[in-house]
Amino acid sequence: MAALQLNVVDIIVICAYFLFVLLVGLWASFQSSRGTLKGYFLAGKNIVWWPIGASLFASNIGSGHFIGLAGTGAASGLAVGAFEFNAMFILLLLGWIFVPVYMSSGVFTMPEYLRRRFGGQRVRVYLACLALLLSVLTKISVDMYAGALFIQESLQWNLYVAIVSLLAITALYTVAGGLSAVIYTDALQTVVMVIGTFILMILSFQRVSWDELHILYPQAIPNTTLANPNSTCGFPREDAFHIFRDPVNSDLPWPGMIFGITISSIWYWCTDQVIVQRTLAAKSISHAKGGTVFAGFLKTLPMFLIVLPGMISRILFPNEVACATKETCLAECGSETGCSNTAFPKLVLDVMPAGLRGLMLAVMLSALMSSLTSIFNSSSTIFTIDIWRRIRPRASETELMICGRVFILVMVGISILWIPIIQAAQGGRLFDYIQSITSYLSPPICAVFILAVAWSRINEKGAFAGLMVGLVVGMVRMILDFVYAAPSCGEEDTRPGIVADVHYLYFGILLFVISFVVTIVVSLFTKPIPEKYLVRLTWMTRHSDLERVDLAISDIRLENKEEKTPMRGEDEEEGFNKETEKPRIARRVVDWLCGTGKQDKGDGLTEEQRKELMKKMTDIKETRKETIILNIAAILLMCSSIFFWAFFG
């Protein structure tokens, strides 16, 4: 297809979008204290429900979702939309079960919660390292690849030139602004994404109506298949319009779609730093719950805005999107494993008129940027608080601020190196790649968090054993997946049985059960944690007014040492704030970008006032009126999800 020719209107739309995003990001940067950990990483805990919900949605629906959902819809039908409907339930678990415990514990990160819950450091450090690994494998590299694929398809740019260009503007306000800038720009980008994809959906259904979709999709067969009557490669699935599919022979078996997805979703929505960090920034528990409900209703949209248009794209481009041989796929999109990932960009270029193409380019860029900014901020939070502070316990707050920003650059470099692996994984279906990696690595984390929140009898030895056993089992399956690639259509399957016959969703269920059982058994055979160490760290103790005792004496000593360092800006930073002369311009620019320097010197609070502030931050009380409104909204969300499951089932 010819390169996209941007006219004046396209250019104006794109420039106006980027200017507006930049202004919103810069404005939000000044709304909280960027020179403190709470200000930079939790946006000062002053965010209301609607930007939280919009940020949850935008952080989830990145360019990987646009490319992956549309591509999987084009390849196998609408069953992939069940991932979105499932999230509607899991978001309620986040708001009603997990967030109250996280808030009452007063933590910044999920690894920090496990450190307080179990004591010691090995569970915390392991989870921090694994979270960063998952960010690289399933988030940053995927979103960069998907966003750049759209740019490459539309503008004919080199893939890696597109990646570098997209990263430049993304990094600017993320590094400078912290979570406040990320959340408010996410809210803006959610509006842009919904409007742009809604227009695309309307134009797509004008080309192929709903009734025609049911007739024409089964007939969307590439010419190479039609020319070979003995070949079945390239034929659409017979169950393309059903969510619940055969439990043995289908690409997405129904038991896996119910239970396997739920396990991965609980990890993603309820324990992953990128998502949970948004709810922890809420000004109250009610706003956190309201944000999860709002995000839940937004999750009804991807099936209609992305999956169904992806199926229409196959009808319009059966030879390109549904290519069935290595030779034709390589010629069409440069990949031997399939070209379904091009379904969304091809649809945009064909359906959208001049002018609106610029809007859709802005939509894809906003999706990419919203996800990347969220992941960058959350990953730097984990590395700074859970890893760097272990390496340098006496590090000043200035050093922690700079360290978090520099680490973003390291993750970007590693993610770029991983992109060639993504191109060849899971038969070229991006969404299947994401879900398979998640099913191999996340179930042990899900099991440990559920048990940690629900049952005080679970201890550190049990949690660590469950995580380690789960890691070994999951890594073995993941490595086998990379070593034994799925055969192309018509080729003999020579993969081991554990790879060929056990679907990744089934494997996720098995891995969850193994980790769950190991954690419980080891905990029951080892010494329990006394209740005084678990105050406000479990569901049953979340409202307790008792004083919590730190579980590990060594950690108490470490925290005492940290209090003697200028962690809250109460003392002047050595080498920076002791200078009496006015700093140079270059130094002031660095101070502004990194949130360092004199502008955050001292918070003016006494120790008693700080304790009162912490008490307010960890307060999870809500009024009766708020409880009634939120519960009604949650019931409506559950009913909506049940309706969609039944309608498409």
Could you tell me where the DSSP H helices lie in 383-459?
389-391, 397-424, 430-441, 443-454
Dist. CA 126–CA 501, nearest whole Å? 31
What phi-psi label fits residue 252: left (phi over 0), alpha (psi between -120 and 50 degrees) or beta? beta
CB count within 10 Å of CB 361 equals 24
> Is pLDDT of 89 > 80?
yes
Which of 80-84, 310-314, 356-360, 512-516 is most confident? Answer: 512-516
- pLDDT value of residue 145: 76
pLDDT of residue 124: 81
Please tell me the distance from the alpha carbon of residue 229 to that of residue 236, in angstroms, as a whole number: 15
Which range, of 439-448, 479-488, 577-586, averages the lowest pLDDT? 577-586
pLDDT at 127 over 80: yes
pLDDT surpassing 50 at residue 137: yes
- Please give the DSSP secondary-structure letter assigned to residue 122: H
Q: Taking the domains of the chain in order of start, what are their residue ranges?
A: 8-390+603-648
Share of the chain above pLDDT 90, in %: 27
Nearest to 273 by CA among 439, 163, 387: 387
Report residue 260's pLDDT band, with 50, 70 and 90 as the boundaries: very high
Rounded CA separation 136/434 (Å): 11
What's residue 613's pLDDT?
57
Largest CA distance in the chain: 84
Does residue 286 contact residue 50 with C-beta atoms inside 8 Å? no
Of 161, 182, 163, nearest to 172 by C-alpha is 182
pLDDT digits (tens, 9 = 90+) for 623-646: 899 999 999 999 999 999 999 999
pLDDT at 554: 43
Q: Over 50: is that where the pLDDT of 34 sits?
A: no
The class (CATH top level) of 8-390+603-648 is mainly alpha
Position 574 scores a pLDDT of 38
pLDDT value of residue 288 = 92
Q: What is the pLDDT averaged over residues 277-287?
A: 86
Residues in Cβ contact with 152 at an 8 Å cutoff, skipping those fewer than 6 apart: 158, 159, 162
Q: Which of 541, 555, 549 is nearest to 453 (CA)?
A: 541
At residue 462, the pLDDT reads 95
C-beta separation of 317 from 91 below 8 A: no
Reported as a pLDDT band with limits 50, 70 and 90, residue 416 is: confident
Question: Residue 235 pLDDT more than 70?
Answer: yes
Mean pLDDT of the chain: 78
Q: Which pLDDT does position 424 carry in this prediction?
A: 60
From the list 199, 205, 170, the residue with the least C-alpha distance to 359 is: 199
pLDDT tens-digit profile of 169-182? Answer: 666 545 544 445 56
Q: At what angle do helices 343-351 and 179-207 cross, to 10 degrees?
A: 70
Q: Which of 18, 75, 10 is closest to 352 using CA atoms?
A: 10
Cα separation, 433 vs 173, whole angstroms = 30
Q: State the amino acid at position 538 in one-letter form.
A: T
Q: How far is residue 625 CA from its own chain's centroid?
A: 32
What secondary structure letter does DSSP report for 153?
H
Q: Please spell the DSSP secondary structure of 542-580, one letter per residue.
A: TT--SPPPPS-HHHHHHHHHHHHS-TTS-SPPTTTTT--
What pLDDT, in 10s, does the model give residues 7-32?
Answer: 677 778 777 877 777 676 666 656 55
Least confident of 114-128, 254-268, 547-561: 547-561
More confident residue, 573 or 210: 210
- Per-residue pLDDT at 475: 93
Q: Which residue has the tokens 């990145």?
A: 62
- What amino acid is encoded at 445 in this protein? I
Q: Which of 131-140, 149-158, 169-178, 212-221 has the lowest mean pLDDT?
A: 169-178
Mean pLDDT value across residues 60-68: 79
Task: State pLDDT tens for residues 318-368.
Answer: 888 888 777 787 777 767 777 788 888 888 888 888 777 777 777 777 667
d(CA 467, CA 465): 5
* pLDDT greater than 60 at residue 589: no
Within a 10 A sphere around the Cβ of 632, how many other Cβ atoms? 11
SS3 71: helix
Query: What amino acid occupies position 320?
Result: E
Find out whether 216 and 316 touch, Cβ atoms under 8 Å.
no
pLDDT score of 411: 77
Whole-prediction pTM value?
0.81
pLDDT on residue 405: 74
Residues 520-524, mean pLDDT to the nearest whole number: 96
Residue 28 pLDDT: 61
Q: Which residue has the tokens 């949209």?
A: 301
Handedness of CA 424, 429, 433, 434 (dihedral sign): positive
Residues for the chain: how many in total? 649
Q: How far apart are the two ends of the chain, measured CA to CA in Å?
A: 36
Task: Taking residues 594-619, report their average pLDDT.
Answer: 55
Spatial CA neighbour of 385 closest among 192, 135, 141, 108: 108
Question: CA-CA-CA-CA torsion for 34, 37, 409, 157, nearest 10 degrees?
Answer: -50
Residue 534 CA to residue 118 CA, distance in Å, equals 9
For residue 40, name the pLDDT band (cuts at 50, 70, 90): very low
